[in-house]
Structures are given as structure tokens and as C-alpha cells.
Structure 1
Amino acid sequence: MSPCAHAQTAEQRLADYRQRVERLEDQVAIETLQADYGYYFDKGLWNEVADLFSKDGTFEYGQRGVYVGQDRIRSALLLFGPHGLAPAHLNNHMQLQAVITVAPDGRTAKARWQGMVMLAEPGANGQWGVGLYENEYVKQGGVWKISKLHFYMTALTDYDLGWTKSAIPMEGQSALFPPDRPPTEVYRSYPGAYIPPFDYVHPVTGKSLKNIPQPADDVVGRK
């Protein structure tokens, strides 16, 4: 092999390593972004939450519908309570089990997260919840932002009664702050069993997990 070929191979290898490092840095930045979302959401810092989204970003929580743009997202967040966390309130939304997939060009990304929810307010029993996030992100001006946040509430229960005795249904679309679009998917939370489609392929087989067979559910008309 000629010296020129050796030089080209070394340069290509260096470029490949540089790209791999950049994609890893992107993953870390997205993980931090999503963690910030969780911390701000927990404390009712709605302006800070909305500022994490791109200007045309979307927010969808359970069956409440889709809100488009930062201003509309701020309105949607008020459905969870006023700005700031009031005394005797709990609104924890933990972001766990991240699987982040960054596009080869480093401009967009998708991620799936496990969500654990703890809720409390005066005069009401506490609640436990679990769900899944299927989110999308965009890099604008070198900064990662949330372009789509979709939280699938899969189960919500009374803290004292527990999962075997309590199944709290999801809230529907608000009349006070109606969504811009209806829910993208109609499904039922626990005791229903719905698996949100995976945005990434199986890491060993390479097969898509977007069309997983779902249990029949006559409430939502799924056969």
C-alpha cells in the first residue's frame, strides 16, 4: 500500500473517531436536557420547561391531546397546576432507562425513557404512576432542544390502595385549554395493556418493534 493510501486511511479513521465522539457528546447533551425537563417539571417551573422545546415543538401527555409551540405548551403545563410548586404538593416525574438514538448527521435524535410519577396535593390521596416517553430532539444553533415530547401514561393508582385495587383513568382533553390536535394514539392505561411502539430497532436482531401485536381492547376498538 502506498504512503498516500496510508495517509488517506488514517485521515478517514480520524474522521470516523471524531464523528463517534461527537455523537456520544450529543447523547450526553440529550440526557442532560431530558433530566433538566424532569427537574423543572417536578417544581412547576413551566416557563423553564417550555423553553426546552423548539419553537414548533409539540407536547402530548396521555390522552390530553397535542399542544404545538412554546406558548401553547405553557398553557398545557398550567393544567398540572400554577407556576411554582405549592406547599403540600408533589409532582415528581423521573426520567429513567434512556435509550437515545442520534441521527448520523447529528441534527436530530429520538429517545425512549421510562417515567415514574409521584403525585400529591392537599385533600386528596397520593398517586403512583408509570409511563413511557417517546421523544424527538433537534439541534439548533449547536443546542439540543425537545422537538416532540410524548408521554404514554401506562398506569396510575391510588398510593394507599395500590395496583391490585386501584386503576385511575387518564384525563381527557381540557375544555379550559383545548389542545391543538387530538391524541395521536387512542389507548387505555392499566388495567389495559398497551405497548407504545419502539422508535429503535432490536439491538441484536435488527428487527423493527413499531408494529408489536397488542392485546384486544373493546374500549378503544382494538381487535
Structure 2
Amino acid sequence: MGSELAELKEQVNLLRKEVSRISDEAEVRKVHFKYGYYLDKCLYNEVVDMYADHPDTYVEFLGSRYRGKEGVKRLYNGRFQQTFVNGRNGPVRGFLLDHIMMQDIVDVDPSGTHAWCRMRALMQAGTHQSVRETHPRGHVQWWEGGLYENEYIKENGVWKLFRYRYFPFWHAEHEKGWSLTKENYVPWPTKTYPEDPLGPDEIIEQKMLWPDTRVVPFHYPHPVTGQRTKDDDLRAPHYGKDASTSEAPLTLALPEGQTRPGEGKTWTSEGSVRVLPDLVQNA
């Protein structure tokens, strides 16, 4: 009887851990979906509040990095809010900015305090012809496809955005499609804060826009082989050319001054390694 009771206790403990993991994964997924709904309607105050207060918080976007909560505010309450809605918190008539979030892959570490998510975004954006004379963008419409490789942390029991990395893959105008999209469709930032009052904290070498088709690294290993994808296979040379002739592979490496205390460790769940050892934060 004693051994059976001990076995039951162990099973209950394992089930409790699994339920906690599944619950955390669901919460992280909801955090990102809620972020998308706020972003759609230019509710930038609500967006900023979803970011962690941790000093290592950052947003990596369009060849630049906005660091800390102040950098996050500068991007959303500064660049986006001023450009799209003239400084108000909320939408303006005739401006469309819809983000469809999908194909999410969420992994939570054993501590239940750190998570990763890879997710796609398909954006429809533009202005209605009726506001062409009053909105600074005039009359425009475009598509955008991109990918997130984000990290999240639990602060005071609440899941928040932490290290946010968004890679816009392609842009396409409705009339011309994606094959005729001009290169550098969205200009890269060239000045940092405070020289640019709404600029990033740093300009980074990691830049990509269509027709660049490099692979954003996966936070997880292959689910069958357990191997990470080779760096050369993440590159995108011209047809028939060797990988060495193309731009360097993209990376999920941390910026200067940040570390991962759990780096080098692994944990398994459902019989496979969940996250690459070099990306483990806690274990």
C-alpha cells in the first residue's frame, strides 16, 4: 500500500507540473494575441503596459533595438503613435492596421517564469480614399508578412513581453503584388536616440527585408532529430550559388550586457528537448 501511495503521489505531482506548463503556454499565447488586438487599433498605451519592467527588456525591429521600458515607449508612444494617429491613443477614421497572428509555437521553461514563442503575422494596412487629403500617408494600401521569435517573462505572477524580435519578411502593394516591391520598402533607421528623439537606442547589423529570404533561427531544435538547423542552411544565396556568397545568417543572440543564467542546460518534456541550450534562461 505504501509503494502504491508513493506512486500515486508522484503521478499527481507530474500531472500538476504538466497542467502548469500547459496553462502557462496558453497564457503566453493569449498575451501575444491580446497585444495584437491592441496594436490593430493603435492602443499604444495598452501595448506598452504589456512589456516587462525588467532592465533587459527590448524590441528588435527593422535593423534597430529599443532597450528598456523607455525605449519601448519611444517606439510605440513615439514613432508609431505620432506617425499613424497624430499622438492620440486609439484609432483614427479611415486608417487600417490589422495583424493576423498565427502558427504559434510556445515553450515554457520548467520554472514557469520564462517562455519563447515563434509566430507569424499577416498584416493588412492602408487608408481609405475618403481620408486621402487629411491623413499624412495619403491614399495607400499594402500587405506585410513577418515573423516573431519572442521571449516572455512572468513578473509578479503576470506574463509579459520581454525580448521582442519582429522580422518583417515582405511587403506588397495591392496593385503590383510582392514581385515588384521596391527594395528597402521601409527605410532603416540611421540615427539613434537622442540625436533622433524617436529613434532606437542602437543600430544593429541584423537587417532583412524582401527579397532577402534568410531563415529566422528557431528557438527549438528539430522535433525528431533533436538537432539545430545549420547556420549555412539559414542563409539565402542566389540560385545556384554557394551559401558562403550570401549574407550572414540571422541570430537570436543577446545584445551587449545581457546574459542567460541557464545557458548550456537542457530540459526534456514529451520525450524531446524543448529549447536550444544556448537560449535557455532558467533551468
TM-score using structure 1 length:
0.89
1:111-159 deviations in Å (ceiling 9; x for gaps): 0000111111342320101010000000112110111111001101212
Structure 1 residues 28 and 222: alpha-carbon distance in aligned structure 2, compared to 1, 3 A threshold: closer
Separation of aligned partners in 2, 1:119 and 1:79: 17
* Shift in Å, 1:66: 1.2
Separation of aligned partners in 2, 1:221 and 1:205: 27
Separation of aligned partners in 2, 1:104 and 1:171: 40
2:67 matched residue in structure 1:
68
* Shift in Å, 1:208: 1.4
1:179 matched residue in structure 2:
200
2:111 paired with 1:90: no
* Shift in Å, 1:68: 1.8
1:70-122 deviations in Å (ceiling 9; x for gaps): 23212201322233221111112221110001101211000000011111134
**1:195 counterpart SS class:** coil
**1:128 counterpart SS class:** strand
1:1-223 equivalent positions in 2, closer than 5 A: 3-56=1-54, 57-63=57-63, 65-77=64-76, 78-80=78-80, 81=84, 82=87, 83-121=89-127, 122=132, 123-167=138-182, 169=184, 170-173=186-189, 175-183=196-204, 186-209=206-229, 211=231, 212-216=233-237, 221-222=247-248
Structure 1 residues 87 and 146: alpha-carbon distance in aligned structure 2, compared to 1, 3 A threshold: same
Letter in 2 for 1:153: P
Letter in 1 for 2:36: G
**Structure 1 residue runs without a partner (length 5+):** none
Letter in 2 for 1:24: I
> Which deviates the most, 144-153 or 85-94?
85-94
> Which deviates the most, 199-208 or 11-20?
199-208
1:176-197 deviations in Å (ceiling 9; x for gaps): 41211223x5233111211100
Separation of aligned partners in 2, 1:127 and 1:216: 27
* Shift in Å, 1:210: 6.7
Separation of aligned partners in 2, 1:168 and 1:90: 23
Letter in 2 for 1:28: A
Letter in 1 for 2:237: A
* Preserved contact between residue 125 and residue 160 of structure 1 (Cα < 8 Å): no
What percentage of aligned pairs have identical amino acids?
26
* Preserved contact between residue 188 and residue 220 of structure 1 (Cα < 8 Å): no
* Preserved contact between residue 129 and residue 155 of structure 1 (Cα < 8 Å): yes
Letter in 2 for 1:127: W
Separation of aligned partners in 1, 2:230 and 2:5: 43
* Preserved contact between residue 197 and residue 210 of structure 1 (Cα < 8 Å): no
**Structure 2 residue runs without a partner (length 5+):** 133-137, 239-243, 250-283
* Preserved contact between residue 117 and residue 130 of structure 1 (Cα < 8 Å): yes
CA-based RMSD of the aligned residues comes to 2.2
Letter in 2 for 1:159: H
* Preserved contact between residue 200 and residue 209 of structure 1 (Cα < 8 Å): no
* Preserved contact between residue 154 and residue 194 of structure 1 (Cα < 8 Å): no
